[in-house]
Chains A and B, each alone.
Chain A
Amino acid sequence: MKVLVIDDEPLVRLSLKRALHKSGHQIEEAEDGQSGLEKWQSFKPDLVFLDVLMPRLSGPDLLRALTKADRAHAKVILMSAFTGEYDLERAQSLGAHLFIPKPFEDIFAVVKTGEELASV
């Protein structure tokens, strides 16, 4: 499974990468929205972990910038530490499939949720 992690926090990227790697997935990461968009278009991921607040291009703006083709079969999990403004409904209206608030309680549970979402 091709997984793209877009988050400006290196430790979040690192921990997700390490956890996903254990399951044998192919992983790409991006440190802001703009490079995330480019990676998305070139890598064509099956599953995307997308942060909301990022430099250059925010998560929601990235989603708006995607073409229909870009999204194709990719499942998107929106993540935010600013829980007040985002929830599942808002995330779905933006074109994401799931919303996971930060901080995570258990990184492996997050990975498992993502795998289940992408395998449907």
Chain B
Amino acid sequence: MERRTIQLLTRGDAPNWWSELQALDDLGCDWVVGREFNPAATVILINRAEITDVHKEEISFSKAYILVDNGWTGQNLRRAINTLKGALFMDIADGTAELSKVVRVALSRQTEKERNNSLMQAMRGQNRQIEELNRGLEQVVIERTTNEVDSRKASQKNISRVREIIGFIKDLAQLLDVADLLPLIRRQLKEHHGLESPLLFIPRGEAYGDMYYLRGSQTISTRVRGEWVVSPRIRVNESEDSQFLANAMGRPFAKVIRFPLITVRHQKDVSRSPLLMFEHNLVTKDLDPIVASLSEKLQPVSWALDRLVLEQELKSTSREWEMTFDELAEPIAILDHDGRVLRANSHWRDEYRAVLQSQEKHLKVAERLYTVEKYPIRMSLEDPPLSWVVYLRDETRSQKLKSQVVQVEKMSAIGQLAGHIAHELNNPLTGIRSLTQVLLTETDPEGQVNKDLTEVEKASARCQSIITNLLDFSKGGIGQKAQVLDLNEITRKTLPFLKSATGKFRSDIQLSDGELMVKVEPHLMQQVIFNLVNNACQAMKDKGEITVHTHQDKGWAFLEVRDTGPGIVESVRERIFEPFFTTKEEGEGTGLGLSLSRDIARQFGGDLECESSEGQGSLFRVKLPLEILS
């Protein structure tokens, strides 16, 4: 312990008790007297009478104070102690030995206090250290915790990545069409910015294949030709790949990542493996994680695609069969021996099965006429047929053409005949009319003979005009060109030839005012009028009224032939324009009249319609486009 200093604070000289006190106790202390507080002093003795306000200010708790008095009264004790705030009291009257005791107590108290202080200080230091340690520990804990959170995040991320891949694989497994693959891949990659929509190239053969790409949400596939570099590795930013895509898609391509989708099937021949490509504008740094993430998903894509391509090939093979046979406009089917359909094209109807058992060479269904052809399929020549290929050859068209040719030939023969007849009649008629004209000049203009001759002249003139009309229409016959003619005029010239048919009926002919110019072949148009008027007459049997009207409306010329016959029931009306459909007696009608008439009307850009119901008579309406004459 350091050497202590005991000070007597006094303005006067040291009193006797001071020296006695020093002499009495060897405390190993320095005894000093002074007027001012000595900072080095541990114990300070102050004479009570000398305590001033200044002293009071300077009294410090780090020191021990002894209040000195002489002849102290208990009354003053409290005041003194209050003044020095817990100091010891020493009464010189108590004697030196007693004084010494007080000094000792002060010293030991002070020493204790000091020890406590230093202890406190030490404790404070230790506290600081502990605090620091704590802080360090806390840091460690925070760091550790952060690491743990991070690693939990990382593992969650891992789990979600795996989940995502599993989900992706599930989606892939549910794909039904190659076309759905690209939207799925795009959805998977939407987090990768800078990566364009995927393109999928599936090689189909030497230097060609199918390119699938997205337009909006739709997958477009197009057959492309070109050379591509074959490689089993992922290729990044190869100009050849950009070039290939540019050629295939017809637009420039920037940088391209290319993934080969290799499966077992392609391992031997990588050149047939599909290629998944992305256009991108990423820098190398960003590219690596994307390539890594993509590679991870490629294997399932390869598998899914392989499955889809296989399915597609399978489907296309059977579709090819169907399409090939659907292309045939005629029904064809493979039937087993009991007539069950094993396979059939789209034109086959179930009711056709009956032909297998039937001996009929022809099948007439609805509007079509078929020739039945049956080919047995046997394992060997000796075996009975396992199944049959049944082919129904459509004769409708050829029959119709044949009938049309017959009709045209008939018309042409009639035309020629009419020409000859007209010529044969024209000569005597010329004579009759001319001679009548001569005779008219030789008779009395007022006489009866003259009047009679005038009638002869008029009648021969009428004959002449009928013959001229007949010649007009018979002229040419086949191969007559369509000409712009007045439908009213054609009708007017045709009706006289129908007198024998219309004779027994009332007839109402109302042709429109003015011309109805239409572009037709006159003899064909005449045939249409013939057919319609003839049909109308036949429908009415014995009595009735036939009406022939023409009119125009909105650029169309109309010719309507109406009868007051029994009308046509709906089931028949649906079929009247079918070739070979007839309700007439065998040999009376060919079933071609209306069918041909409609064909003719349509040939000239028009149509033939029918309005009829049972008991209401029938109306057939020909419409033809009006020619605008310049």
Chain A residues at the B interface, C-beta cutoff of 8 Å: 7-16, 18-19, 22, 51, 53, 81-84, 102-104, 106-108, 110
Contact = CB atoms under 8 A, between A and B. Distances in A.
Given A19-B438, A106-B437, A53 B431 contact: no
- Scoring A19, A53, A83, A103 by chain B CB atoms within 10 A of each residue's CB, the highest score goes to A103
B46 to A, nearest CB: 170
Given A84-B475, A103-B433, A18 B438 contact: yes
Interface in B422-469: 422-423, 426-435, 437-439, 441, 464, 467
B429 A103 contact: yes
B330 to A, nearest CB: 45
Given A15-B437, A107-B437, 13 more contacts: A9-B428, A11-B434, A12-B427, A13-B431, A15-B431, A19-B434, A19-B437, A81-B427, A82-B423, A103-B433, A103-B464, A106-B437, A108-B437
A11 B438 contact: no
Contacts of B467: 103
A30 to B, nearest CB: 15
Most buried by A among B431, B433, B464, B475: B431
Closest 5 interchain pairs by CB? Answer: A11-B431, A81-B426, A15-B434, A107-B434, A15-B435
Given A9-B430, A104-B430, A18 B435 contact: yes
A90 B247 CA distance: 68
Contacts of A107: 433-435, 437-438
A94 B431 CA distance: 25
Contacts of A7: 427
Nearest to B429: A103
B548 interface: no
Interface of B: 419, 422-423, 426-435, 437-439, 441, 464, 467, 471, 475
B426 A103 contact: yes
A81 B430 CA distance: 9
Nearest to B433: A103
A102 B431 CA distance: 10
Q: Is the interface of B mostly helix, strand, loop or mixed?
A: helix
A103 B437 contact: no
B422 A11 contact: no
A84 B422 CA distance: 12
A15 B471 contact: no
A13 B435 CA distance: 9
Given A82-B423, A102-B430, A11 B471 contact: no
Contacts of A104: 430, 433-434
A81 B423 contact: yes
A3 B467 CA distance: 30
A15 B453 CA distance: 14
Nearest to B439: A18
A108 B434 CA distance: 8
Contacts of B437: 15, 19, 106-108
A83 B471 contact: yes
A102 B426 contact: yes
A2 B439 CA distance: 23
21 contacts: A7-B427, A8-B427, A9-B427, A9-B430, A12-B427, A12-B430, A15-B430, A15-B431, A18-B439, A19-B437, A19-B438, A81-B423, A83-B471, A84-B471, A102-B430, A103-B429, A103-B433, A103-B467, A107-B433, A107-B437, A110-B434
Contact of A103 (B419, B430, B441): B430
Centre residue among B423, B430, B435 by max chain A CB count within 10 A:
B430
Contacts of A14: 431, 435
A100 B241 CA distance: 86
Contacts of A22: 438, 441
A18 B298 CA distance: 112
Contact of B422 (A16, A18, A81, A110): A81
B434 A12 contact: yes
Contacts of B427: 7-9, 12, 51, 81, 102
A52 to B, nearest CB: 10
A84 B441 CA distance: 32
Nearest to B468: A103
Residue of A10, A13, A22, A107 contacting most chain B CB atoms (<10 Å):
A107
